[in-house]
Amino acid sequence: MHRALIARRIATCLLGCLFAAVMACAAPAQADELLRVLTWKMAPYGMVDDQGRLTGFEVEIARALCATMGVRCEIDLLPFPEVLELLERNKADFAVASILKTPERAKKYLFTDRYKRSSSCYIGRAGEWPLGAQPALAGKRIAVTRGSKQQDYFKLRDTGGIILVFDDQGEAIQAVADGRADLALAPSTVAVHLLTSNEGQNLEVVGEPITEGGLGGESAIALPLGREELRDRVNQALRAILADGRYDAITSRFLPFRVY
């Protein structure tokens, strides 16, 4: 009996040690998880600072989400069309890239809850447009970004304008600055950031912000189809950074007003 009792105790101890070892191996599994996250290459959302470090509103939101989920993230800063293409090809885990949540896009991507609201506005050269009035578009060259809702807006209506499509939002705005385009249609937060920078000294917002026709609405984090489990984890992390003040702290660093 004595030997049997000792044997049982040894077996119990060994099982306990085995369980602890298994848990020790399992515990860091999530921390070792590496996710590829895409962000939009456009200030103030995604940019490279003076030290060569990625930063910007959406870059820092992505970092906060990854930290909250306890995972490592590789963040890629890309032109908007490449973000959409890589998501559709399932070459990334999720994107924080000012992607408006629409019924058409919901057929291609999985979306979280919103993380910001959006509107659009025209940008033109300063002094060339009546103050406060929406611009007359007939005969005007209007720059938009490929794959954007701004491009979709002109696909659905004939304004009489000549639509110039660029792969990068910065290129579209530069086309206005150097005279290749008369106007650019861009997200309002991009316009506000631009006009407070050196690059925007000779540009101005033309007319009022626009939300109709798909030019405004809710932007959400997008994932490839079939990633519901990750979508739910990202949503949980998003709720956490909204509740604990990190979202507002990031907003105040990069944007002139709250966009949630």
In a domain, 42, yes or no: yes
193 token code pair? 């950031």
The reply to whether 190 and 144 lie within a common domain is yes
168 and 149, same structural domain? yes
Using pLDDT thresholds of 50, 70 and 90, give the confidence band for residue 31. Answer: low
Whether 201 and 224 map to the same domain: the answer is: no
200 in the same domain as 243: no
* 42 and 127, same domain (yes or no): no
CA distance to 81, 144, 203, per residue, from 198 (Å)? 26, 21, 10
pLDDT at 125 over 50: yes
Peptide bond into 187 cis (omega under 30): no
Q: How many domains does one find in the chain?
A: 2
Domain match, 140 and 114 both: no
Residues 99 and 133 in one domain: no
Distance from C-alpha of 240 to C-alpha of 220, rounded to nearest angstrom: 16
Structural domain contains residue 7: no
Q: Is residue 144 part of a domain?
A: yes
Q: What is the mean pLDDT of residues 195-204?
A: 86
pLDDT (mean) for 236-240: 98
In which band, very low, low, confident or very high, does the pLDDT at 193 lie, cut at 50, 70 and 90? confident
pLDDT digits (tens, 9 = 90+) for 62-94: 999 999 999 999 999 999 999 999 999 999 999
211 three-state secondary structure: coil
Instruction: Please state, rounded to an integer, the average pLDDT across all residues of the chain.
Output: 88
Tell whether 136 is covered by a domain. yes
Asked if 200 contacts 121 with a C-beta cutoff of 8 angstroms, the reply is no
Determine the number of helices (DSSP H) and then strands (DSSP E) in the chain.
Answer: 9, 12
| 83 shares a domain with 146 | no
Question: Using 50, 70 and 90 to split pLDDT, how confident is the model at 18?
Answer: very low
- A 10 A CB-CB count for 183 gives 26
For 22, how many CA atoms within 13 A lie in the half-sphere containing its CB? 6
The stretch 106-121 carries a mean pLDDT of 96
Are residues 150 and 73 part of one domain?
no
CATH number at residue 189: 3.40.190.10
Distance CA 116, CA 29 (A): 31
Q: Look at residue 249 and tell me whether its pLDDT is greater than 60.
A: yes
Higher pLDDT, 6 or 218: 218
Amino acid type, 19: F
195 is in which domain, residue-wise? 120-214
Residues 59, 39: one domain? yes
pLDDT of residue 27: 38
The C-alpha atoms of residue 60 and residue 18 are separated, in whole angstroms, by 40
Say whether both 134 and 103 belong to one domain: no
Q: For residue range 37-51, what is the model confidence (pLDDT) as tens digits?
A: 999 999 999 999 999
Q: What are phi and psi of 116, to 5 degrees?
A: -165, 165
**Residue 16 falls inside a structural domain:** no
77 phi-psi bin (left φ>0, alpha ψ -120 to 50, beta other): beta
Tens of pLDDT, residues 138-153: 999 999 999 999 999 9
